[in-house]
Amino acid sequence: MKKIAVLLLSCGLALGQLTYAAAGECQPLSSVEGDGLVAVISAADMNAVLQVNFDDSEVCTLQSESLDFGEAAGVSFHNSVALDEFVVQASVDGYETWLRIDSEYNGELLLDRATGEDLGLTDAEFLGDNSQLEASDFFIEYVGSLEIGGFSLRNVETNIPLLEVPYDHYAGRGPIPENSVSEAEFLTIGSIGEEILEEVLITVDIVNQRIYMTEAN
């Protein structure tokens, strides 16, 4: 992912140093069936602050009293056991939305077809050379910007389903439970994959429902 320029606010850098210094007890990131991050957050103390390192497959509990988030630009998140996904607020080329954090997706960014069309990413679908793709059902385009709070990536490689290819992340998951109607507010348009996740540290402030992303090194 070296070809992607990572731009961090100065407050984000400060946050990364603070959280790393305050890291306490660490354990392997859950490898249970389903999304490991959903399992970790669901089992954590509701007052916990966690730091997740996907590259090391490790999650640490931080000493929250020693942390000062200051003006660091965190964003809201939603942890859904019903849908088995952890989602964050994000901006894709200026489009405010929700994206899944999905370590099982091995690319950088995946967007659904409708969003790709709305952002004008499908205009050159039949003009480019997509022969390098491993999955023939998707083609590559580049999102100009992906922003999560103060964390920003430019020219992010993005997979988009080919025209008429059936692709629905929520297919087969069943209806949203009646007692979880609010889940519909957090339905996502795509996934942030492991090629990005392995380059960042994710700090989750559960009690304040905020998430912060900083460069791993």
Q: What is the pLDDT of residue 17?
A: 38
Encoded tokens for 56: 């090391």
Closest to 78 (Cα-Cα) out of 175, 191, 186, 202 = 186
Q: How many domains does the chain have?
A: 1
For residue 120, the domain's CATH number is: 2.40.70
Q: What is the pLDDT of residue 15?
A: 41
2: in domain: no
Global pTM?
0.79
Q: Dihedrals φ, ψ of 53, to 5°?
A: -120, 100
117: in domain: yes
Q: Along the 217 residues of the chain, how does pLDDT read in single tens digits?
A: 433 333 333 333 334 434 443 446 888 887 666 678 888 888 888 888 999 999 888 999 886 665 665 556 789 999 988 888 999 999 999 999 999 999 889 999 999 999 999 999 888 766 655 555 554 788 889 999 999 988 899 999 999 998 888 888 888 777 766 666 577 788 899 999 999 999 998 999 998 889 998 887 6
CB 139 within 8 A of CB 165: no
Question: How many whole angstroms separate alpha carbon 56 and alpha carbon 52?
Answer: 9
153: in domain: yes
User: Which residue range forms the structural domain that includes residue 50?
Assistant: 9-215
Question: How many whole angstroms separate alpha carbon 95 and alpha carbon 112?
Answer: 14
